[in-house]
Amino acid sequence: MCGIIARVGEGGAVDELLTGLKNLEYRGYDSAGVAIPNGKSIDIRKQEGSVDDLVSAIDGNEPVGNIGIGHTRWSTHGPPTDENAHPHTDCTGSVAVVHNGIIDNHDELRDRLIAEGHEFTSETDTEVVPHLIERHLANGDGPEAAFRSAVDELDGSYALVATVEGGDALYATRNGSPLVLGIDGDRHYLASDVPAFLEFTDDVVYLEDHDVVVLNGDGYTIFDSEGRRLDRPVETVEWSPEDAEKGSYDHFMFKEINEQPVALGQTLSDRFTGDGDVDLGIDPDRYVDVDHVHFVACGTSYHAGLQGTHILTRAGVPASTYRASEFVATPPPLNEDSLVVGVTQSGETADTLEALRVATRRGAKTIAVTNAPGSTAVRETDESIFIRAGPEIGVAATKTFSSQVATLIMFAELITRSMTGSGIEDFEEIVDSLRSLPDAVQRILDTSRAERIARFYAGSEAQFFIGRGGAYPIALEGALKFKEITYEHAEGFAAGELKHGPLALVNADTPVFAVILGPGDEKTIGNVREVQARGAPVIVVAPEGADDALAVADEVLTVPDSHPIVASVLANVQLQLVSYHVAELLSRSIDKPRNLAKSVTVE
């Protein structure tokens, strides 16, 4: 949801800024721009469209200078136009600013600034910031003081980086939007996310809300909001640059689908202790008095959360999963014996963060289940569990879903032991399947018939996905992935609900993907017959040994025999492949689906 990159140090800025923008395009791709002070003025190049469009536009006429800021936009205030593209400037063009987030009081600030004679050229909330800096500079403040004073006037969420003509520095801060500092000897970077500069450095400082950073040729200094110097730890990220590159794949999504055996290996590695217990880096004793587990999440992570509730409920532990925005709108009763678990691969999703804040305010215990060390979710919760899937660049979540579900299976065992004194009854069987999971996923990747099925059904009127119990979240996830990257109509339903309304939509041109994983099979097989009676072709996704389920199918996508809970991850891999191949056949923008961004940092 908007990507920021900035750099200071030896060498020209433009190439590294454009590389950073390219690496950040998954956060927004409506427009892109850079601003580079060149000693005389600030050279600004920005336009509607992709980073590649910007690269072409400045090819042969690159801005010169060794400090600069860049931005790729996901529109919130104002449509994607050249004027609304970042960086934004003041009246004189001597201040340039990039921003991620939303300035809540921008209307009021804009009215005041206009009344004072400032002229605005965009419809964005961001543009108030350079004008505020201009105003404080005019009042005699130096650039750093002017930046601080401008920030003091803002309400809302922001990561901001500014530069001022005539200086050699960048000024940055954050409040509720991510910003990370990268350090490579004399060169320094600021970005919304580590992959932006991963090919330059893996040494990072995760900035905290209200930190103010000043970067110049001498290095970096971090201050708190009162101007006192801070010492934040430098951490080395474990991701390699190749993890965040497409390599020989056409799409990040396909690469990440294929990375799932490795990702799952990382997720599961060293998690089981000798006595059959689970170690997720959290303190199990904190949770002995918990009386209810609430998962809060959005989109794909919400579906992983539903699977968490399924596993806990079947183990006799009270649990619920909420769409984070609805949890905020109508919070359930919470107290110190409530555990609220935010499931969020990015750790920066605004709805999920707000749900966790509601939980904290009401005294609940909180845990983040995330792929992002240093994220806001990690900082704002009591404890964190890392899913260790490696960087995911495609907007469509794939490997992070598999790693989330694998993590939640282990979490369910840990929390069941804490809350009830004994673990999940069939956990040994589940662990056996978990240990085989990376290999089982690899078998699917090597043998899947998903491409053939995609070719057959790509032009259909709509696609429906049904499942019962632990297969229901997979039906929802299958449909979400399908609509997200193919732009075709797809819906997921609880198999038993079809006859209560959705069956009216079913016809010979609406293939139904039936996920059948074990418990309740006969009932779902009955539901399959109901849709077949209305002419719909049914693709059954089921374990190899599930003869009854496979027998009713018009087409099959099989998964290696596993415990049904673990088989849900495998079934989902088959559905990921179907969506991917349909999107490819329809020539969709697979890694950057229209209107979407990877990390949604507005509510």
- Under the binding rule (CB under 6 A), the answer on residue 416 touching ligand M6R is no
Longest Cα–Cα distance of the chain, Å, equals: 80
Residue 225: partners with Cβ closer than 8 Å, 6 or more residues away: 210, 212
Which residue, 113 or 396, is less far from ligand M6R as judged by CB? 396
Among residues 349, 384, 460, 572, which is the contact residue for ligand M6R, using CB under 6 A?
349
Site for ligand M6R in 72-101 (CB under 6 A): none
Stretch that binds ligand M6R, among 139-147, 251-259, 299-307, 429-437 (CB under 6 A): 299-307
Structure tokens of 570? 């495998």
* Residue 582 interacts with ligand M6R (CB under 6 A): yes or no: no
Nearer to ligand M6R, 13 or 353 (CB): 353
Write down the least CB distance from residue 592 to ligand M6R, Å: 11
Is residue 572 within the footprint of ligand M6R (CB under 6 A)?
no
Cα–Cα distance, 494 to 248 (Å, whole number): 38
In the complex, least distance from residue 583 CB atom to ligand M6R, rounded to whole angstroms: 12
> Which listed range, 172-180, 253-261, 295-303, 538-546, lies at the site for ligand M6R (CB under 6 A)?
295-303
Nearest residue to 600 (alpha-carbon basis) of 387, 400, 324:
324
Please select the residue that binds ligand M6R; options are 2, 4, 396, 506, rule is CB under 6 A: 396
Torsion angle (degrees, nearest 10) of CA 137, 141, 145, 151: -40
**Smallest distance, ligand M6R to C-beta of residue 476, A:** 11
Q: Is residue 195 packed enough to be buried (19+ CB in 10 Å), middle (13-18) or exposed (0-12)? A: buried
Nearer to ligand M6R among residue 146 and residue 297 (C-beta) = 297
Could you tell me where the beta strands, DSSP code E, fall in 9-41?
A: 31-37
- DSSP assignment of 124-156 equals -STTHHHHHHHHHHHTT--HHHHHHHHHHT--E
- Shortest separation between residue 344's beta carbon and ligand M6R, angstroms: 3
- For 516-566, the three-class secondary structure string (H helix, E strand, C coil) is CCCCCHHHHHHHHHHHHHCCCCEEEEEECCCHHHHHCCCEEEEECCCCHHH
Neighbouring C-beta atoms of residue 8, cutoff 10 Å: 25
Give the one residue of 179, 397, 430, 498 binding ligand M6R; rule: CB under 6 A. Answer: 397
Q: Is 193 in the site for ligand M6R (CB under 6 A)?
A: no
> Running DSSP on this structure, what letter comes out for residue 422?
S
Distance of CA 72 to the CA centre of its chain: 16
Does 267 sit near ligand M6R (CB under 6 A)?
no
Question: Site for ligand M6R (CB under 6 A): which residue of 75, 177, 346, 579?
Answer: 346
Q: Smaller CB distance to ligand M6R: residue 349 or 527?
A: 349
d(CA 309, CA 102): 33
> What is the H or E stretch that residue 173 is in?
strand 170-175
Rg (CA), the chain: 25
Considering only 31, 66, 126, 300, the residue that binds ligand M6R (CB under 6 A) is 300
Position 600 contacts ligand M6R (CB under 6 A): yes
Task: Give the CB-nearest residue to ligand M6R.
Answer: 299
Q: Could you give the CA distance from residue 238 to residue 198 in angstroms, rounded to a whole number?
A: 10
Comparing CB distances to ligand M6R, the nearer of 172 and 396 is: 396
Least distance in angstroms from the C-beta of 480 to ligand M6R: 6
Choose one: 55-63, 393-401, 427-435, 447-455; the region binding ligand M6R (CB under 6 A): 393-401
Catalytic-labelled residue, pool 2, 46, 298, 481: 2
Q: Per rule CB under 6 A, is residue 299 in the interface with ligand M6R?
A: yes
Residue 102 as a binder of ligand M6R (CB under 6 A): the answer is: no
Residue among 94, 301, 307, 403 that touches ligand M6R (CB under 6 A): 301
Q: How far apart are CB 599 and ligand M6R at their closest, in Å?
A: 6
Give CA separation, 282 vs 233, 285, 367, 554, in Å: 22, 9, 9, 46
Q: How far apart are CA 3 and CA 119, in angstroms?
A: 26
Q: Exactly one of 154, 298, 515, 577 binds ligand M6R (CB under 6 A); which one?
A: 298
Which 3 state secondary structure label does DSSP give 425? coil
In the numeric block, the tokens 């990376």 are attached to 438
Q: Among 94, 307, 510, 599, which residue interacts with ligand M6R (rule: CB under 6 A)?
A: 599
Binding mask 464-503 for ligand M6R (x = CB under 6 A): ----------------x---x-------------------
Residue of 84, 344, 402, 418 interacting with ligand M6R (CB under 6 A): 344
Distance CA 193, CA 300 (A): 20
**2 is a catalytic site residue:** yes
- N-to-C CA span, the chain: 11
The catalytic position among 46, 365, 399, 598 is 598
Query: Quick check: is 481 catalytic?
Result: no
Buried/exposed code over 56-69 (b: 16+ C-beta within 10 A; e: otherwise): eeeeeebbebbbbb
Question: Which residues of this protein are in contact with ligand M6R, per CB under 6 A?
Answer: 298-301, 344-346, 349, 352, 395-397, 480, 484, 599-600
What are the residue numbers of the active site? 2, 598
